[in-house]
Chains A and B, each alone.
Chain A
Amino acid sequence: MPESEKSAKQDPIIQLIVFRLGEEEYGIRIEQVKEVTITPEIARMPKTPPFVKGIANLRGDIIAVIDLEERFRLRSAGQEMPAVSYTMAIEAKEYTIGIMVREVPQPLSIAQSIIEKAPEFIQDINIHDKYIEGIAKIDSRIIVVLDMLKLLTPSEIMQLQPKGESSPAGSRTQA
């Protein structure tokens, strides 16, 4: 097998959508992003954790919008979300969910091979390493590549469901 073909096969180019949370840069695979839009009007939903900003009308679909800076406690004091923010609609397994970010997310193509498995130092930040597919180093930039499908499973989001809810889903189905 010719060398060039072999390396192309082993090292496919992947496209990321890169966005900023706090001071760090994060990336998601482009195929997990349905669209990016200016954050629509959000209706706050009572009895949800604070990082669930509420629900919004995205072209007739009602989706939940979450704020990952708040979720991962990456926001330094006095750095509120700007009045105009952006929302990435992410297609999780069974639903679409919006992720609010402060700047327009940018596409970026990188070779798969430069994504390294998450090293130990990642424990320092508040992101559980199982969501992290790896770390990409490009020149002086470090991009944390997230696996959104793991981050946005219902159990992940529902761990945050307030305790002592009027009637948790579980007790309904038991009956």
Chain B
Amino acid sequence: MKSREQEYREIFMSEALEYYDAMSRHISELERSPTDESALNELFRLMHNLKSNARAMGYTPIGEVAHHMETIFGLIRDKEKAFTGSVVPVLFKGIDTIGEMVRAVGANEDLPDVVHLTANLDRLVQGEEPILEPETTDDEDATRKLELSDLVYIQVKKLDHLMNLVGELIIDRDRVLTLSQEIGNPALIAAAAHLSRIADELQYSVMDARLVGVGSLFSKFPRVVRDVAMAEKKDVELTMTGEDIQIDRNILQIITDALLHLVRNAIGHGLETPAERVAAGKPAQGHLLLSAQTERDDVLVQVRDDGRGINVESVRRKAVERGLVAANVAATLDDNAVRAFLFEPGFSMAKEVTEISGRGVGLDVVKLAIDSLGGQLRVDSVLGQGTTFTLVLPTSIAVKGALLFQLDQRNYAIPLMHTDSVVSLLPENFNVVGGMLLTRIQDENVPVVSLRRLLHNGDGPLPPAVRTDLEGRQDIIIVNYNNRRLGLIVDRFLRQQDIVVKPMSKPLDTIDLFGGVTLLGSGQVCLVLDVPALTRLFLAKRP
């Protein structure tokens, strides 16, 4: 794989060459009609973009020339100069020089000398006559090359289509593999195995083509932070790390608003004013960290502030007032479970919560965005020291690790992202408390429910559980959502498998218990359970 540096350079090259082509085109138009405003505006814009890109990449001479050219095009645009006489050859020379310089960067050669050109440009700006070199056009025309860029721009829509096709291919691949095993013809098995390898490679190539650096989103934040900090009268220093971490472009798109929300929240409600900070014995300048890192197959994006933190007690009080939890239960919840209430829809909308706890404007929206990706949202906070929001995101949307299991002779899948563990327990490992089955897993009481009952119980609350319902060993999947663990009794575990999730077709897509469907190698349809919706259903229906 190429280094980041190399890749950025290629992107710069391709853009710069494109700018150069456009500049050549527009300046020719300008020569034909010297007052063409759209051509002038385009030239001005192209010079400006090239200047910024070149400076960002450290190609200062290109930036310098572009800067000078921009100035003159600005003057012409503002009618302080005219595109006539000696101005014309100097500007043509300038654009040709830009082309040479960009090509020199591409070929890893030394940049051509531009002192003469910039001196001439300076003279033009000051209203003096430029010193023109004798024309050497013959020579130049002979050496001029036509260049095509090494990169192509492609619409995300086309990549989405490719990804969908690959998804279908993977499903068919599994089907062909299964069939070849059943038929048992050696030549067929070999061909199927080969097909399988190619399909895998194709899948990874398409997934790779969709990856972009997290930096392409992060880079928009310095400005956001500055503006929000100004508006909120906060003094904020922003640090960013992990801009090189790669993630699917559509995932980045979906988390854009969520991240914006978290950053605004952190500055608006998390960080204190300089005076408050000093009074609390902290440095006056607040610190905000935006970071990305990979963890196994996931990408972790964090927003961390060193502000006042979340007051767990006021969240606990509010949760009880809002009827989200009974007072006696609330008293027993640990801090993590209490903070999870922040993501409850409606919880955050109350204004007084914001004022008391200093947090929580529309966090449920953030939560839903992350849920829709099959990701996780976590919050850690120490009162007085700061808050960290962690977004756990899949690298790619298309393929998900899933656990397959059976219920009533049907296959179901549950995403591994939300699966804690699987256990097989005998009836004596369960207790019944208030009509709810509980079992102890890693020193924690986890409610357990029969998935069959939860799915097929109709509209009313679940009937109270009794231990005699349980016969023999029970296969249980422990799922985890929003810091709540829940055990689901299923008929039988099948296996772990990477699946391609197809969205639920209309009109059944309003039933949110299922995140989608997948087709198994056998051609069978397999429903993919949505753990967030399942957890909500359990909370609504528990006895």
Contacts and interface: CB of A to CB of B under 8 A. Distances in A.
Interface of A: 41, 43-48, 52, 55-57, 60-64, 94-97, 152, 154, 157-158, 161-169, 171-172, 174-175
Given A166-B537, A167-B512, A175-B365, A43 B459 contact: no
A167 B533 contact: yes
Contact of A162 (B171, B458, B517, B534): B458
Contacts of A166: 512-513, 533-534, 536-537, 540
Contacts, number: 95
A44 B410 contact: yes
Given A60-B168, A175-B365, A47 B540 contact: no
Contacts of B534: 166
Most chain A CB atoms below 10 A, which of B346, B458, B525:
B525
Contacts of A46: 455-456, 513
A58 B365 CA distance: 35
Q: What interface size band does chain B fall in?
A: 35 or more
A161 B511 contact: yes
A94 to B, nearest CB: 5
15 contacts: A43-B517, A46-B513, A48-B508, A60-B171, A64-B505, A94-B506, A95-B507, A96-B505, A166-B513, A166-B534, A167-B512, A169-B512, A171-B345, A175-B345, A175-B362
Contacts of A61: 505
Interface of B: 168, 171, 345-346, 362, 364-365, 368, 410, 455-456, 458-459, 502, 504-508, 510-514, 517, 519, 523-527, 533-534, 536-537, 540
Contacts of B540: 164, 166
A174 B349 CA distance: 12
Consensus secondary structure, chain B interface: mixed
A174 B368 CA distance: 12
A152 B511 CA distance: 17
B536 to A, nearest CB: 4
A172 B368 contact: yes
A43 B528 CA distance: 12
A172 B508 CA distance: 16
The 8 closest A-B pairs by CB, nearest first: A166-B537, A46-B455, A95-B506, A154-B507, A43-B525, A166-B536, A169-B510, A157-B507
A44 B346 CA distance: 33
A164 B540 CA distance: 8
Nearest to A153: B507
A165 B507 contact: no
Given A47-B455, A166-B536, A64 B507 contact: yes
B458 A45 contact: no
B525 A41 contact: yes
B507 A62 contact: no
Contacts of B410: 43-44
A96 B537 CA distance: 29
Nearest to A46: B455
A171 B288 CA distance: 33
A9 B458 CA distance: 53
B524 A43 contact: yes
A135 B511 CA distance: 35
A69 B455 CA distance: 24
